[in-house]
Structure 1
Amino acid sequence: MKLQLVPARTGILWVRLGVRTFWRQPMALTGLFFLCMAAMSLATVLPLVGTALALALLPSATLVMMVASAHTEGSSSRLAAPALMVSALRSARQRLRSMALLGLLYAAGFLLLLGLSALVDGGEFAGVYLGVRPVTQELAESGRFQAAMWLAVLLYLPLSLLFWHAPALVHWWGVAPVKAMFFSAVACLRNIGAFTVYALGWAGLFMATGIVVSLVLTVLSELGMGTGLAASVLVTTAIVLAAMFFSSIVFSFRDCFEPTAHPAAGQDGAA
């Protein structure tokens, strides 16, 4: 495994590959993403440890989407939706212990992030994020709340760099979780131009989609359609966009690391 440096324009390529791969298997990848999010939502129901467990599942959910996307993009034949979902879930279990540790490290980092934001506003933003406090207009407009929110956003950036490539490094190359986090951060920072273009590309796509959806909802409103239909359109669009985004992550990993030997993990869905 060798770190590769890519030009900034590669970020747009990652976006395009993610969109193209998603539309090869839209039902399967959307269903897989929904299944991952449902598992995380169910975890939050557990008392005391529910929120931490949900956070700990995110690296594994990311890996499942990466495996499915790699298989979809690299296979000449299309698996049926259930078969692709089962294949991705089975493959992602190969390094269960290391992935569990990686998940715990992510949860700890995220909770630490929220704890630091609580020093600014007394825990108001953290309470809203964790769902234990309702958000009101007065609270949202509070200077302390906004300061805590922006602090959390800034702190999340280095956290995301640490874990961006880590699940794939653990799964496909058998790298220890802490080392995987270090290599992930180095790869992201060395290719910061490509990742900046990548982020801007997705932001532009999200904004363009939002404009189109707003126009569609306006037309539906003028036709007297119910608010239930509008809500369904919004939720469906959000899920599809999120699944599309997660489908693109594997391509950034593939281009940032050059294989120098066969992966330590199985070849199923290897990037």
Structure 2
Amino acid sequence: MNPTPARMGWDWVKQGFGMLRKQPAGLTALFFGYMLVSMLLNILPLVGAIAHAVLTPVFVIGFLRAARDVEAGRMVLPRTLITGFREPAFGRLCKLGGLHILAILAAVTIMMLFADTDVLKGKSPEDLQPSLALMQEVIRFPGLQVGFFLYVAALLVITFAAPIVCWNGMGPGKGLFYSFFAIKRTAGAFLVFVLSLGAIAFGTMMVLRLVFGAGAVGQALMGMVSVLLFGIGHIALYFPYTHIFGPLPDDKAAPPVP
């Protein structure tokens, strides 16, 4: 494996933003296409949320295929998002998605161990609607923090396993094994990668809130920027993958989409 100093995590982030500069229209359409699909899935109570969690690794392949297309000078089209659905590894990717659900349940369980249910007494049904504010009020430190960070770590391993399973022909278990140890051996770079993306997201949201406030305009701009940063984060995963596992041949990295 190539040497991976911690500062390389920042290089991966910069390369992700560089992808957006090369094809702003194609990648922006891809990102907002994913947001639309996510919204449509989440309209369905529970079933939609489960489907979204299961399909997360499948959509990751679409993002990484887009990164490979940009690198090769090919135009990114909205249909690139569904590349993972047409891969022979689709079933194995969905099994990774099943593990994603287990990670969510584990994180929620840890959080609930520290829940203070007394704060729910006397609240109206409207006040009990799921929200980040309610979660922060009910779940005390360190439950919220521990559950959140464990979930992020599990999500990173599962997400990074998706291209290993898809492009290296491995099963979900073996893909997770290689993903975990690849991230472990380059932990400094991945930590910088995650913290850099988080700092950029937090800083950008704070600036938008200060400039535009928390009204409709501010909320809309923060939503749009969130989608872009989410997409760039997934696109940027292409670079640690190729750094660790080597460049991909065209026929493997970017199969034609009929």
Q: TM-score range by the shorter chain?
A: 0.7 to 0.9
1:104 paired residue among 79, 98, 106:
98
Contact 1:56 1:103 in 2 (8 A): yes
**Would you say 1:162 and 2:157 are equivalent positions?**
yes
Letter in 1 for 2:39: S
CA change 1:88–1:230 in 2 (3 A) is closer
Distance across 1 between alignment mates of 2:161 and 2:93: 9
Cα offset, 1:231, TM superposition = 2.7
Is the deviation greater in 237-246 or in 16-25? 237-246
Letter in 1 for 2:174: K
Letter in 1 for 2:92: S
Aligned residues: 247
- How is 1:151-190 mapped onto 2 (pairs within 5 angstroms)? 151-190=146-185
Superimposed CA distance per residue, residues 232-262 of structure 1 (whole angstroms, 9 cap, x where no aligned partner): 2222222222222222111111112136x96
- How is 1:55-74 mapped onto 2 (pairs within 5 angstroms)? 55-74=53-72
Cα offset, 1:177, TM superposition = 0.9
CA change 1:269–1:202 in 2 (3 A) is farther
Cα offset, 1:43, TM superposition = 2.5
1:140 paired residue among 130, 136, 139:
136
Letter in 1 for 2:82: L
Distance across 2 between alignment mates of 1:49 and 1:42: 11
Unaligned runs of 5+ in 2: 119-127
TM-score, normalisation: structure 1: 0.77
Moved over 4 A (4+): 135-139
Letter in 2 for 1:268: A
Distance across 1 between alignment mates of 2:115 and 2:58: 32
Aligned to 2:125: none
Superimposed CA distance per residue, residues 131-173 of structure 1 (whole angstroms, 9 cap, x where no aligned partner): x74449676345x444331231132144134213111111111
Aligned to 1:7: 5
Letter in 2 for 1:111: L
Contact 1:113 1:155 in 2 (8 A): yes
Contact 1:71 1:269 in 2 (8 A): no
**Would you say 1:233 and 2:221 are equivalent positions?**
yes
TM-score, normalisation: structure 2: 0.81
- Between the aligned residues of both structures, percent identity stands at 24
Cα offset, 1:56, TM superposition = 1.1
Cα offset, 1:53, TM superposition = 1.6
Is the deviation greater in 14-23 or in 101-110? 101-110
Distance across 2 between alignment mates of 1:158 and 1:236: 25
Letter in 2 for 1:45: I
- How is 1:211-230 mapped onto 2 (pairs within 5 angstroms)? 211-214=206-209, 216-217=211-212, 227-230=215-218
Letter in 2 for 1:244: I
Distance across 2 between alignment mates of 1:146 and 1:204: 21
Aligned to 1:116: 110
Superimposed CA distance per residue, residues 58-109 of structure 1 (whole angstroms, 9 cap, x where no aligned partner): 112222111111211222x5x2x5xx22245236521211111111121122
CA change 1:52–1:166 in 2 (3 A) is same
1:247 paired residue among 235, 238, 245:
235
Distance across 1 between alignment mates of 2:65 and 2:13: 17
Aligned to 1:266: 252
